[in-house]
Amino acid sequence: MSTAVEQRYEEDFATMPIVAILRGLVPKEAIAVGTVLVNAGIRILEVPLNSPEPFESIGLLAKAFGGHATVGAGTVLRAEDVARVHDVGGQVIISPNCNVEVIRHTRAAGMISLPGCLTPTEAFAALDAGAHAVKLFPGELVTPSVAKAMAAVLPKGTRLLVVGGVSSGTIKDWNGSVVHGFGIGSSLFKPGMTADEVGKNAEALVGAVREWAGSSQR
């Protein structure tokens, strides 16, 4: 049976299969940026832990949007950081690598696990540890044919997300592919952008993803 956190994540992913990567976000910007993203339809928000005061930003976002968005941390490299994210209200743990201890701690805390993988070996290890999806990272090294080959051997229904090098102009490259969604960073948010600029980027990306979803047969 799915938990409430898993149900929230599934609903948010179904609404818009984009993970917003807010690297460099500072706490004073968190609510304004979160508002424009949620209003644009993006409901999965990630603050990487190499951002300034990330736990404060995650806590602010979780408090403001936790009832209608999935909020959490990215670039989570250590198992001990999982508890810190959980303590401030985070619901999702995202990593650039496949660290089975991070995955196991995430699942034990009742959170969503989205680890980074680049090979079938890493993907199987992640899934065996309890990952909810496989983040294909860095996306610049992954092609639709590579993703198709990996999907052919992974358990049926494995969710694949492309993360890295994704923009409103490159999403069409994945038309008809086996991937299920995208993690998007610098083409959505960069430090110094205003909330209005982030909102405009979000609208363009949401439009591109909707076109991609309409063309894809997964």
**Residue numbers annotated as active site:** 46, 135
| CA–CA gap between residue 43 and residue 12 (Å, rounded) | 5
Alpha carbon separation from 109 to 34, 48, 103, 179 (Å, rounded)? 24, 19, 10, 27
192: amino acid identity, one letter: G
| CA–CA gap between residue 213 and residue 207 (Å, rounded) | 10
Q: State the alpha helices, DSSP H only, in the chain.
A: 4-15, 27-40, 54-65, 79-87, 100-108, 120-129, 144-153, 195-215
Report CA torsion sign: 108, 114, 116, 117.
Answer: positive
| Tokens matching residue 28 | 């004073």
Answer for the pair 180, 218: CB distance below 8 angstroms, yes or no. Answer: yes
